[in-house]
Structure 1
Amino acid sequence: MKKLALLALVAGAALSAAPAAAVTAPPVPCGADIVSFYFGGFSQNLSLGTFDLTLLAHDGVACTLPDTPLVTVSGPGADIPVHVDGRGGTLVLRPDSPLHAQIAYHRPDLPENAVPVSTLRLAMPDKSFRGTYFGTPGAFDIQKDGVLVSAWRTGLGLGQGEGTS
């Protein structure tokens, strides 16, 4: 009987000394201060231009954002129409799982179809944003029907340079 009581006491002490399962905090809404913003993979010919926009969460961070990129594009005179693909879901961005979207635009065939573009802005779910030039520094002409942004996809994309805020 004493042996059983001693075994129960030892077993109880071992259970209470076992480390608790690691509890991770739920993802927070993504913000400009916890996400790195890269762009690259520029391609342009006479009629079509594209580049990638890649997001990477900082170490130790998991955050959420809609799969429909919150992108605005503008030029010296006004905002440019932006058409965004997406399924309406929510994604979790982690350091080991970057997301990227492709930005595509047409070059104008005639001067009257041109609109100058210079700035790209990416809004985050926490209402912060990151902004930079659109593809290259300065303004250049694109087709006035605007820009197409793909839904976020998992992977590195073709990111090269850190965006500016």
Structure 2
Amino acid sequence: MTHGHPTPHLTHPEPVQPDEFRSLMSDFPTGVAVVTTIDEGQPWGMTCSSLCSLSVSPPTLLVCLRAESPTLGALLRQGTFAVNLLHGDARAVGELFSSGATDRFDQVTWSAGATGPHLTEHAHAIADCRVTRTVDGGSHVIVFGEVVHVSRDDLRSPLLYGRRGYHTWAS
């Protein structure tokens, strides 16, 4: 016995257009993270809003990075990365790391973390991760990262991104 309305039968529906999908996802606010790594002594990093927790045991998160990204290439060669969760006053850092600026690490204070650069002044939490697996996701690669260390600053509020704009978590 079913309740409610019957489910319409769709036989091979076509996917929505990219603009419609982007519009849908803009209505899903998310935290702002900068994923970083070091490869042959050079720091790499990019803003990433496609991040989620996967498992507590083992502690694993997923980051989805553009397949052509030089940061992704460096991350895969190194096998480690850091996830810097930006705080509410770090909008400029989120914008910088989503730009094409090649000197982005010259414009921020950072320190070498266990698995990648830490943006300590700009992050309210940082996770050091090691790559355990990747999956092709079309235009992006899904990277599984086992979290090996966490540092947090509970005094700072998270930076959020939604509806194509930055916002601060209101406590």
TM over 0.5: no
Higher helix residue share = 2
TM range (shorter): under 0.3
